[in-house]
Structure 1
Amino acid sequence: MNKLIGTMLVLLVLLGALAGCAAPEPTKAPPPPAATQVPATSVPAATKPPATAAPAPTTAPVASAPVKIVYWRALSGAPGDAQEEIAKRFNASQKEVQVEVQFQGTYPELQRKLQAALAARTTPDVVMFDSPQMPYFAKNGALAPLDDFAKGADSVDLKNYIPGLLADGYFDGKLYALPFARSTPILYFNRDLFKEVGLPDRAPETWDEFLEFSKKLVKKEGAETKRVGYAVQMGTTTAHWYFQELLYAYGNDVSDDKFKVLIDQPEGVAAAKFLQDMIFVHGAAIPGTGPDGAQGEFTNQRSGMHFGSTGSLVNIISTSKFQVGVGFMPAAKRRQVPIGGSVLAVLSASPKEKQAAAWKFIKYMTNTESNVYFVQKTGYMPISTSAVNSPEMKEFLAKNPAFKIAVEQLQFVRPQASIIAVPEATEIFRQLVEKLTVGKIDPATAMKEASAALTKAYNETFK
């Protein structure tokens, strides 16, 4: 499960790069006319010429109907629009396969719908997974191995994909998915508010500095707090990812290669206490439990900083009514960030013909042209060396420093913790963050309870 070596290869690659219709049925030739009978006379009978056979008509191939497949996607906003456009281009590029795109909501919502579809035997042909979800479905036989497709007549050069990103597509030695919308968390900040309160025009370098910046951003009117430095992500799709980064920074490895959970170690407890103290001791943060979540608190200027996916760059910059700055995630004992985002997989329940069509589609979705387009429209990371090295990508990064920050941070990436592959894990982490930031539960107790819950879920799912 350990993909750290592969992940470092991501750095080496990316940092180096920063320097018709069928023919009509032919008309059949008419048979030669019957020979006229010559009446008998005293003259010799005429010699009958040999009949000439008409050439056999050539039969044109009958155009077969395209194979129709269904693709279940997640992600709304710019990433959703970009997927729809790439699928539209795919359909227009050839006549063998036609894909229908169906939006299924967030990653957890898509996962729940897929589990129901598997039980009802009404699955799609292609699905987008949050990368940690893939091993569970591969283990249970829901996904088709892609190795034969990758090596077959419609092959793809797997070496072109960034090794650390492709590694997330393997389970038990077999390839089950290709990388697609891959990302890391980054820090967004309100440059206008920073200027207003006298902060430097840059992101805080460390978690301690993050706390100090947050304190300066607090704005009160009487006893009411109108603005804080940071709103904590509380969602099932977000809480675990950003909390992992804090744990990594404090020197805590969330779990090891054997799925042993480590969050109740002293470093993990210290990280949890830091987060809790930002709210209850320093008054510099709030739980992002409002109707618009943590991102809404930021875009509505009720918080001055925000942790978000690189894949949210376009949405955040385009919807914010202020100047947005971008920086690396803060460091403590170390600076490390978890890789996130999605992969594309093919369902094993689909007939072989549709599996082949699905492979053709995901190959197109991840090719150089499609990936460059997707990166530029969303902020997600390049997934292949050919995309990174393309003139279009180099020009784009030079003109868009915020996107460049996202790529440069790859020197600090590491895979998400192994335990996140357990389906219940993200919800357990969400409950943990809620206990810390809303329930004010003792950090050591909360981490111990979450560790036990994660271990129990792993034993019930993977053992």
Structure 2
Amino acid sequence: MKSRAFIFLLIPVLLLFAGCSDTTEQEETPTTITVWHVYGGQTDSPLNDLINQFNRTVGKEKQINVQVTSVSNTNTIHELVLAAANGEPGASELPDLFISYPKTVMALPDDSILVDYRDYFSEKELDAFLPAFLEEGTINDRLLILPVAKSTEIMFINQTIFDRFSQATGVTMEDLDTWEGLFEAAELYATWTDGKTPDIPGDAKSMFVHDYYFNYFQVGAESLGEDFFQGDRLAFGPAFQTAWEPLARAALRGGVWLKGGYATESIRTGESIVSVASSASILYYSDVVTYPDNTSEDITIVSRPCPVFEKGDRLVMQRGAGFCAVRSTPERERAAVTFLKWLTEPKHNVEFVTRTGYMPVTKAAFENELPKAIEGLESAKYASLYQAYLDTQETYSFYVPPQLETYLSLETTLEDRVRAQLALGRQDYLAAGETGLEQIGAERLQAFREIMER
């Protein structure tokens, strides 16, 4: 009887310990969140390095494990996200976090599958971000894309060749701070290079190349106080003409590169020496120019803020994707947000962006961490870029493009038509000579408008 009584007393005790053991094991099982991103490769990625750092520190403390399941590009992730959201056969399950532009969110069949970050960030926490960066991620009055790294448009200059041009003509880098000054310099550069081979007429080199004419015109028009968009169409008013005329004049005279491809290509071959492009393209700007005759030369690339119009506001494009969080369980949503808050802390965010060529996303990161980080950069090219970032953030306003379903098609059409009309104008100019400059520029503008307004 005593033995039986002892056994009956022992059973509850054993069950209690078993329950404690199960609870301990459950508490020690981390919440795993999955991520699709675009920063680097699967085995060589600055973001993966930061994720490993998070997992070893805050993740370990809070029982959160961030797992990268795909490193790709934004177009691929766009397609994968839509396939998953539409339930296409064989589509992967959506991760907890994925990199996205607004176009991806707008293409979703139902954006309610995404977390509204305002449910997890206080107003004080959101006030730490640059307002324009949050504005771009706000869709249907919900903050669905959280910025973690941004880019803008920067002017890149081959200082090595520019210094020779400057010494010969007196043009300075400061002259390039306005679009009017830049295009005047491009005309002088065409004359200067053409004059080097007097026996070969019409072989001027182009000083300037722009990667995104669509951005040039839309930011330019808006900076001059004119709406570039009218519903789902474009407006070609006086501000557009103000932007067109100096560009066309320089292009007809040969000072602007009009062929396809990215600016990095013509800079790499010495066919042009100044570009305006996405700041993230710094990764592809070579420190060596290889000329058509296979000779090469070491060069110095420096960065400056994007030019502005003399009578326009200091406005510049802001670019870059952010993270969307997929609705799941409260535990996984909180875990995902915990990681994003850690990643956007000024110290971690600057560590991340200075390894990828992007801008940080908070005011404190710009004001406190980025200046210190610049001092520690070994690359003069990157130090120049990040100083240009600081100057841009301090003196410019960031432009947020409209969220239009037709935006991409309008961009593609305008890019093609602008280049085509200016290239035709260049051929007309070579045939007609200087006396035909103004008329040819006006004719090409009229032809462009007629094509775009059909």
TM over 0.5: yes
Match of 2:387 among 397, 404, 421: 404
Q: Check 1:434–1:160 CA distance in 2 against 1; reply closer, same or farther (3 A cut).
A: same
How far 1:190 moved relative to its partner?
0.9
The residue that corresponds to 2:254 in the other structure is 283
The answer to whether the 8 Å contact 1:178/1:343 transfers is yes
Which residue does the alignment assign to 1:150?
A: 121
Structure 2, gaps ≥5 residues long: 290-297, 377-382, 425-443
1:213–1:130 distance in 2 versus 1, CA, 3 Å: farther
Partner of 1:22: none
Distance, in Å, in 1 between the alignment partners of 2:10 and 2:35 is: 54
Whole-angstrom distance in 2 between the partners of 1:353 and 1:288: 52
Q: Which moved more, 1:297-306 or 1:350-359?
A: 350-359
What residue is the counterpart of 1:174 in the other structure?
142
Contact 1:432–1:447 (CA under 8 A) maintained in structure 2: no
Say which SS state the counterpart of residue 344 (structure 1) adopts.
Answer: strand
Partner of 1:110: 77
Cα distance in 1 between the residues matched to 2:115 and 2:109: 8
Q: 1:179 is matched by which residue type in structure 2?
A: P
The one-letter amino acid paired with 1:150 is F
The separation in 2 between residues aligned to 1:179 and 1:62, in whole angstroms, is 35
Query: Structure 1 residue 81 and structure 2 residue 45: aligned?
Result: yes
- What TM-score, normalized to structure 2? 0.72
- Distance in 1 between the 2:126 and 2:46 partners? 23
Report the counterpart of residue 300 of structure 1 in structure 2. Answer: 269
Q: What is aligned with 2:400?
A: 416
Q: Aligned with 1:150: secondary structure?
A: coil
Equivalent-residue separation in structure 1 for 2:447 and 2:82 (angstroms): 33
CA 1:138–1:117: 2 relative to 1, 3 Å:
closer
Task: Give the CA deviation at 1:313.
Answer: 3.9
Q: Deviations over 1:243-284 (max 9, x none)?
A: 43343455533237xx475532222144235434433x2111
Is the Cα–Cα contact under 8 Å of residues 366 and 390 in structure 2 kept in the other structure?
no
Question: What is the total number of aligned residue pairs between the two structures?
Answer: 388
Please state whether the residue corresponding to 1:213 is helix, strand or coil. Answer: helix
1:443 maps to a residue whose letter is: L
Q: Which residue of 1 aligns with 2:95?
A: 124
Q: Which moved more, 1:208-217 or 1:337-346?
A: 208-217
Aligned-residue sequence identity (percent) comes to: 17
Partner of 2:25: 62
Counterpart in the other structure of 2:436: none
Cα deviation, residue 315, structure 1: 4.9
Whole-angstrom CA distance in 2 between matches of 1:355 and 1:115: 20
Aligned to 1:428, the other structure's residue is in SS state helix
Alpha-carbon distance, 1:318 to partner:
6.3
Asked if the contact 2:263/2:277 (under 8 Å) is kept, the reply is no
State the secondary structure of the residue aligned to 2:276. strand
Larger RCO (CA under 8 A, 6+ residues apart):
1
Tell me which residue corresponds to 1:191: 159
What CA RMSD, in Å, does the superposition of the two structures yield over aligned residues?
A: 3.7
Residues of 1 paired with 2:248 and 2:445: CA distance? Answer: 8
The counterpart of 1:312, out of the listed 271, 275, 281, is: 281
Q: Which residue of 2 aligns with 1:344?
A: 323
Aligned to 2:214: 240
Contact between 1:206 and 1:331, CA under 8 Å: does it hold in 2? yes
**TM-score under structure 1 length normalisation:** 0.71
- Partner amino acid for 2:316? V
Partner of 2:448: 446
